[in-house]
Amino acid sequence: MMRVDAVTLFPAMIDSPLSESIVGRARAEGFLELEFSNPRDFTEDRHRTVDDKPYGGGTGMVMMAEPVYRAVKKVRKKGSFVILLTPKGKRFDQSVALELSKKKHLVFICGHYEGIDERVTPLANMELSIGDYVLTGGEPAAVVVIDAVTRLIPGVLKKSDATVNETFTGGLLEAPHYTRPGVWRGKKVPDALLSGNHKLIAEWRSAQAAELTVKTRPDLSAEPKVKKPASGRKKILS
């Protein structure tokens, strides 16, 4: 089982989307325990103030360090791995998701407004970003990371090999998928997938994954080598 604590002013922004589908089932079946720590609960004034104007001027408000510090201190234990969600963090990808899935306890610090007082940064073991764009806060980013990590916890996906041959595994995008009917609005499923020949299907998927990656995401890795079909067969494209 993995425990995740989110330090957030808006727990419902995380709790609600992670109560559905695979992650919701993982929580119900005991693979994931998700709890929340709200910095407002660690304030001392009657207004439960968690933000203030930034030193040096500027627009917006900044989350104060002390309430966040106390909220993290409340949930952090020996062996906890604390993640600060921030645009200046390491870019989140599948390899990071795999690394985090091996942890027993994750603590996510979710900023809001213009961010958090920089002095809380040393609380984190890792600073993490999900991309180069601006969100309303760290909560949507936490949902993305927790979702990606949870499905990698052993037992969450019922088929043990479900995460082996999928997008980003080995630096490649996943090959296209098709299902019934065999012909839809004049478009046929590729012959290789209908052949029943497992070797040919594997070769087709390998070639498609390599070509799709080179075409749409060349940044993922050096140009993959396309595995040639067995002699006597032409390379089959969709």
* pLDDT on residue 231: 43
Tell me the average pLDDT across 108-122.
96
How far the first Cα of the chain sits from its last, in Å, is 41
pLDDT per position as a tens digit, 184-206: 999 999 999 999 999 999 999 99
Q: Is the pTM of this model over 0.75?
A: yes
pLDDT per position as a tens digit, 150-173: 999 999 998 766 665 555 667 889
How many angstroms separate the CA atoms of 81 and 103, rounded? 7
* pLDDT on residue 132: 95
Q: Which of 9-23, 185-199, 207-221 has the lowest mean pLDDT?
A: 207-221
Torsion over CA: 85, 136, 36, 1 (sign) = negative
Q: Identify the residue with better confidence: 237 or 193.
A: 193
Going along the chain from its start, the domains and CATH numbers come out as 2-150 (3.40.1280.10), 169-220 (1.10.1270.20)
* pLDDT on residue 168: 64
Residue 232 has pLDDT above 70, yes or no: no
Tokens standing for 30? 């005991």
Tell me the average pLDDT across 80-85.
98
Mean pLDDT score of the chain, rounded to an integer?
Answer: 91
How many angstroms separate the CA atoms of 231 and 221, rounded? 28
* pLDDT on residue 236: 35
How many angstroms separate the CA atoms of 148 and 133, rounded? 19
How many angstroms separate the CA atoms of 151 and 106, rounded? 15
* pLDDT on residue 169: 65
Tell me the average pLDDT across 77-86.
97
Tell me the average pLDDT across 133-157.
97
Q: Are residues 68 and 113 in contact, defined by beta-carbon separation less than 8 angstroms? A: no
pLDDT per position as a tens digit, 50-74: 999 999 999 999 999 999 999 999 9
The order of strands in the sheet holding 105-110 is 32-37, 2-7, 105-110, 81-91, 126-129
